Structure 1
Amino acid sequence: MQLNSILTPERTFCKLPGVSKKRFLTTISEHIAAFTPSLTPDAIYTALLAREQLGSTGIGNGIAIPHCRVGTCDRITGALVTLDQGIDFDAVDSQQVDLLFVLIVPAEETDEHLRVLSELAHLFHNDSYCHKLRAQTSNEALFDTAIALSDQT
């Protein structure tokens, strides 16, 4: 997977305010929809919340990969976010989450959804990668670092 095929600078957010899980899902749904004409904030939020109700996407070490399939989504879409402070995301290790990758996939792309999700989980289990992402202080630097480092792994 080429990270730059699903992530754009417009969907990369450095140091967003960390408030709560639901507030984060609302905010990121609005941000993603603003740059993705086939998606609405409500469709994204509803699908992400439904997925979280099945079980948390907090994978540990302060990382979460919220993901869902949306019928109106026309291509795999990602958003990378760091938060200014950790939030309770019901993670498997009970740690607060401050690094997130949101993945929205067309409803019919089940196999591709699982493949990309697996690759993202592998990438975000790299402590050095995550440390470097957390150290960034601007959207542009976060995007550039994420792409450059993902090409090296």
Structure 2
Amino acid sequence: MKLANLLSPDCTICAAPGNSKKNILEQISVLAANKISTSSAKELLNDLIDREKLSSTGIGKGIAIPHSKIDNTEQPVAVLITTDKAVDFDAIDNKPVDIFFALFVPEDSCQQHLETLASVAKYFSDKDNSKNVRRCTSADQLYRLVANG
């Protein structure tokens, strides 16, 4: 799935202040709740925290892909946040994270969920893409870069 089909400008933040894993997950949940009318920010946060308890979604190289399956929604929603400084996120390489691409997908879309996670991981595994994301200075620039990538 193309990232442009998932991400929207109002779910993209560049250089957000971030001081903890929970703080970043809270910011993600608030943005997503504005798009997912059937879930509150608190419910989305709890879903993300529960997923993180299974294993960290920090995939290494300063990147995390927090994700959750959501009941009562038909469309996947993505949130992209870069932080002004990297945050400890228990990533697999033990390095702090400054790029967060969160996904919320319908509960019954398991195959779509896996394909979407693979697409996001593939995009950010390209060193040039990650460098360009980190160079962005505005949410609009960040959104256009990733949506067109």
Global fold match (TM > 0.5):
yes
Q: TM-score range by the shorter chain?
A: over 0.9
Match of 2:129 in 1: 129
Q: Does 1:147 align with 2:147?
A: yes
Match of 2:66 in 1: 66
Q: Can you give the 5+ residue segments of structure 1 that lack an aligned partner in the other structure?
A: none
TM-score (norm 2): 0.96
Match of 2:25 in 1: 25
Percent identical among aligned pairs is: 36
Match of 1:9 in 2: 9
Q: Does 1:102 align with 2:102?
A: yes
Q: Can you give the 5+ residue segments of structure 2 that lack an aligned partner in the other structure?
A: none
Moved over 3 A (4+): none
Aligned length in residues:
149
Q: Does structure 2 conserve the Cα–Cα contact (< 8 Å) formed by 1:38 and 1:74? A: no
Say which SS state the counterpart of residue 95 (structure 1) adopts.
coil
TM-score (norm 1): 0.93
CA-to-partner distance for each residue in 1:64-90, whole Å, 9 max, x for gaps?
Answer: 000010113321110111000000000
Q: Does structure 1 conserve the Cα–Cα contact (< 8 Å) formed by 2:35 and 2:77? A: no
Instruction: Point out which structure has higher relative CO (alpha carbons under 8 A, 6+ apart).
Output: 2
Structure 2 CA distance, aligned partners of 1:59 and 1:104? Answer: 17
